Amino acid sequence: MSRIGRLPVEIPKGVTCTFSEQDHLVTVKGPKGELKQKIDTDFKIVLNEGNLVVERPTEQKRHKAMHGLYRSLINNMVEGVSKGFKAELELIGVGYKASAQGNVLDLSLGYSHSVILGIPAELKVQATQEKGQNPTITLEGIDKQLIGQVAAKIKSLRSVEPYKGKGIRFVGEFVRRKAGKAAAK
């Protein structure tokens, strides 16, 4: 049995989960919003008082693989509507700047032009610049997948290079540095 898939998902107070049998849709509502996830028709969702369990029908390799996936997706939905998720990115480099107006992110990343990126309406974006600190971009929302996808898109605009460490990275992310030409002698 999948070690992750067999664990029950604890549903906190103020969060309601419903499972529709005909279209196999899990709906999670909470204080921060509502999320929906379609699951495979083979799987069953059992709702007990305060717990939700994902059951797989057989021991097929595909069912084993999907068992833990669906449990993790539902757990992330429950956590998202109750607490929310947050991702922080920092811009490291001379002249790198970020500003946010509504859900439009304007980035100056050392190119000859500024990069303008539209952020989905489900997320809140905030760009801060404190004196003596690197500019930071904060993404907040209830959908963990969407936050990760948008953060990866922002990181791909200027990925971190290994020699000087310039680029966009998560706050606290370790970047392995390489020695330059002088160290090769």
Residues 19-36 have pLDDT tens digits of 998 899 999 999 999 999
Residue 136 CB burial class (10 angstroms; 0-12, 13-18, ≥19): middle
Quickly count: other Cβ atoms within 10 Å of residue 62's Cβ: 11
Query: pLDDT digit string (tens) for 112-150?
Result: 999 999 999 999 999 999 999 999 999 999 999 999 999
Question: What confidence category does residue 184 fall into, taking pLDDT thresholds of 50, 70 and 90?
Answer: low
Domain ranges of the chain: 9-82, 85-170
**Residue 69 scores a pLDDT above 50:** yes
- 9-82 with 85-170: one CATH topology? yes
Residue 102 scores a pLDDT above 70: yes
- CATH code that applies to domain 85-170: 3.90.930.12
At 97, is the secondary structure helix, strand, or coil? strand
Question: What digits encode the pLDDT tens for the residues 32-56?
Answer: 999 999 999 889 999 888 899 999 9
Neighbour order of strands in the sheet with 16-20: 16-20, 25-30, 33-38
pLDDT of res. 137: 96
CA distance 164 to 63: 46
Tell me the residue ranges of DSSP E strands in the chain. 9-10, 16-20, 25-30, 33-38, 44-48, 51-55, 85-92, 97-101, 104-108, 115-118, 124-128, 136-141, 167-170
Query: How high does pLDDT run on average in the chain?
Result: 92
Q: Which of 66, 152, 136, 154 lies closest to 97 in space, CA to CA?
A: 136
- CATH dotted code for 9-82: 3.90.930.12
**Beta carbons of 142 and 32 less than 8 angstroms apart:** yes
Across the range 61-72, mean pLDDT stands at: 91
Query: What residues does 137 pair with on adjacent strands?
Result: 89, 127
Q: How confident is the model at residue 1 (pLDDT cuts 50, 70, 90)?
A: very low
